[in-house]
Structure 1
Amino acid sequence: MGHSAAVWDYRPAHELTSDWNGNPYVILRNPQGASARISLHGGQVMSWKNEHGEELLFTSSKAVFKPPKAMRGGIPLCFPQFGNCGSLEQHGFARNKVWAIDNNPPPLPPNDSNGKSFVDLILKPSAEDLKCWPHSFEYRLRVALGADGRLSLISRIRNVNGKPFTFSFAYHTYMSVSDISEVRIEGLETLDYLDNLFHRERCTEQGDALTFESEVDRVYLSCPNAIAVIDHAKKRTFVIRKDGLPDVVVWNPWDKKSKAMTDFGDEEYKHMLCVDGAVVEHPITLKPGEEWTGRLEIVVVPSSFCSDHLDLHKVRF
């Protein structure tokens, strides 16, 4: 075990294979038995399992796994826009493109690789992309699985030439939950949010925690860098840490909207919740040569049924 752990510290460890549709994907594993699966279609994390083999991300039973349809579940990458505005498709095109493995990525700090199984991917615009969004960029993505099972994603987007461009962004994270009525989010108290169900009206969160009893589609603004999603029934908590991502999107379609989506089961809203690290209110503008970095890290920690509050400042990263 000691020898294999040392090897793990110094090189990326991943397997490249393909699914039943021929879509290539990468599998990351750690020595404790946790795993992650990343599709090159969209650079999308499709699965994240703990050391017991339990799936931590949600994917719809009706998801379409064939380009150019975006896959409903996992962690789609929303770039160069989040939402539905302008001439681009909803949530941008990055989640519908085929990514390449980046064999020569620029260096990252040692703590972004040591002790982790990881893969580096890259997306560059095609001629078709440049017609609908005429900006030359390089989008580098690192997906890493820590020795303790935590999942981290690092996005680096560079303006390689030409003129300045502006984008919004989100890691559209579908978390698997036992029952949406048994879930609460802590860390968003007193924050302002844009309510997409009411024409992006600006409101203020009044509750001690966010709970769910109907459809929710909100963008919380200027959020703390750590928030917690507490699943009471499973007695576990997703702790989400982010950097470079000031906003948090919270979405659950509830029953009516679920029935209107062809790639989503009628009752599946009960077992999922999207909580996204995002840049929405104030989009990023990059001048030629500039680079933006956005990091997301998710770790699952035990939580008890009676815990009223999780002190996010005491969670170790």
Structure 2
Amino acid sequence: MAGKASSVERVKDRATGLDKFVLREARGSSAEVFLYGGQVTSWYNTYGEQQLFVSKKASFKPPKAIRGGIQICFPQLGNHGVLEQHGFARNRLWSVDESPPPFRDTTYDCHIDLILKQSGDDLKIWPHSYELRLQVALSPRGDLILTSRIKNINADGKPFQFSFAYHTYFSVSDISEVRVEGLDTLDYLDNLQSKKRCTEQGDAVVFETEVDRVYLSAPPKIVTIDHEKKRTFVLRKKELPDVVLWNPWDKKAKAMPDLGSDEYTCMLCVGAACIEKPITLRPGEEWQGRQEISSVPSSYSSGMLDPEQIRQLQHI
């Protein structure tokens, strides 16, 4: 791919017939983004390695959300009131944003801008007018950057409140060989114990059973280490204080029709979120949140970076 220009191409997915965008960065990384759900379903790094997990049993038929990739969870995460699980943004058809306003942060050449607006059906269950913009970009280093902007365009003068998450499914070698660093001593809400507030006791999170947690007020950088693949995911976030951590383990996986019974072993959800303290917007106000993911072909050792990591992370 050296010497070639970056490109963004709109195509129909052969397997599903749904419209998607294929982003190809000049140095070799690529990503796929479906208009359905505004969902990233593929991210290959510059080494040609797939970084995201999508279940072989995933449904691409509305209104079922796509199991894997990066789901956009808005206006809630979880299951509360009349709204569907994780909100409705992840199973609506988005549009291309033809004239997005300027972003505060750097915009890379290889990107696509999408927009979601309320429908009549949405207004019945969540009576607010909004614009949800999403930019998906690849940096020259192959990093995947998602930036979301939510604006209150209510004409009745009413504010609205929402929570938000990038529900990110990483592809891992074996869940038992994975650890997540950067969450030590933090409080978290344990969804397996009715959102009981707990405190992380370990210096890293390892996985031996089902995990469904929201870590609160997490630092801006979280690291997921896959020892077997010698791969480290570095997640950086802005205006998204919390981190969602999820793996269904064996019993729940077997009960999920769109997840293979043993696929839990090769996936882990680690995503930036704003859950504990929902965001309130008055009419005309806009919120912006961002998640950047880098994949480093090496692993941490006792929290220290090796020289190769230092070289690569200095530029992230």
Task: Indicate whether the TM-score tops 0.5.
Answer: yes
Distance verdict in 2 for CA 1:206–1:23, change over 3 Å: same
Q: For structure 2, list consecutive stretches of 5 or more residues without a partner in the other structure.
A: none
* Aligned residue in 1 for 2:24: 29
Equivalent position amino acid for 1:123 in 2: L
Matched, 1:308 2:302: yes
Aligned length: 308
Answering whether residue 127 of structure 2 is matched by residue 134 of structure 1, we say yes
Q: Report the secondary structure of 1:154's partner residue.
A: strand
Classify the secondary structure of the residue corresponding to 2:118.
coil
1:290 to 2:282 alignment: no
Give how far 1:51 is off: 2.2
Partner-residue secondary structure (3-state), 2:295: strand
Residue 184 of structure 2 is aligned to residue 183 of structure 1 = no
Match of 1:17 among 11, 14, 19: 11
Q: Distance in 2 between matches of 1:4 and 1:110?
A: 25
Please give the alpha-carbon distance, in whole angstroms, between the structure 1 residues aligned to 2:261 and 2:94: 31
Aligned to 1:151: 144
Supply the distance in 2 between the matched residues of 1:92 and 1:285 (Cα, whole angstroms): 16
CA distance in 2, matches of 1:176, 1:310: 23
The gaps in structure 1 that reach 5 residues or longer are: none
Following TM superposition, by how much is the alpha carbon of 1:107 offset from its aligned partner in structure 2, in angstroms? 1.0
Matched residue SS, 1:293: strand
Q: Which amino acid aligns with 1:128?
A: D
CA distance 1:2–1:239, change in 2 (3 Å):
closer
CA distance in 2, matches of 1:2, 1:264: 37
CA shift, 1:23, in A, is 0.8
* CA distance in structure 1 between the aligned counterparts of 2:263 and 2:252, rounded to whole angstroms: 11
C-alpha contact (below 8 Å) 1:79/1:92 kept by paired residues: yes
Q: Is the 8 A contact 2:231 2:295 kept in 1?
A: yes
Deviates more, 1:124-133 or 1:72-81: 124-133
Q: Aligned partners of 2:56, 2:297: CA distance in 1, in Å?
A: 27
User: Structure 1 residue 135: deviation in Å?
Assistant: 0.2
Distance in 2 between residues matched to 1:291 and 1:159, nearest whole Å: 7
Partner of residue 89, structure 1:
84
For the 8 Å contact 1:228–1:310, the answer to whether it is kept is no
Partner Cα separation in structure 1 for residue 169 and residue 131 of structure 2: 26
Who is 1:66 aligned against? Answer: 61
2:236 is matched with which residue?
A: 241
Counterparts of 2:141 and 2:192 in 1: how far apart (Å)?
Answer: 38
Q: 1:120 corresponds to which residue?
A: 113
TM-score, length basis structure 2:
0.94
In the alignment, the residues of structure 2 paired with residue 155 and residue 21 of structure 1 have an alpha-carbon distance, to the nearest angstrom, of 26
Shift of 1:4: 5.3
Structure 1 match to 2:193? 198
- Secondary structure at the aligned position of 2:113 is classed as strand
Q: Which consecutive aligned stretches of 4+ in structure 1 deviate over 4 angstroms post-superposition?
A: 1-5, 310-314
Asked whether the equivalents of residues 159 and 288 of structure 1 are also in contact (C-alpha less than 8 Å), the reply is yes
Cα-to-partner distance string for 1:68-111 (whole Å, 9 max, x where unaligned): 11010000100001000010100000000000011110012462
User: Following the alignment from structure 2 to structure 1, what is the Cα–Cα distance between the partners of residues 211 and 4?
Assistant: 45
Percent identical among aligned pairs is: 61
For normalisation by structure 1, the TM-score amounts to 0.93
Q: Does the Cα contact within 8 Å between 1:138 and 1:158 map onto a contact in 2? A: yes
SS at match of 2:279: strand
Contact 1:243 1:296 in 2 (8 A): yes
Match of 1:281 in 2: 276
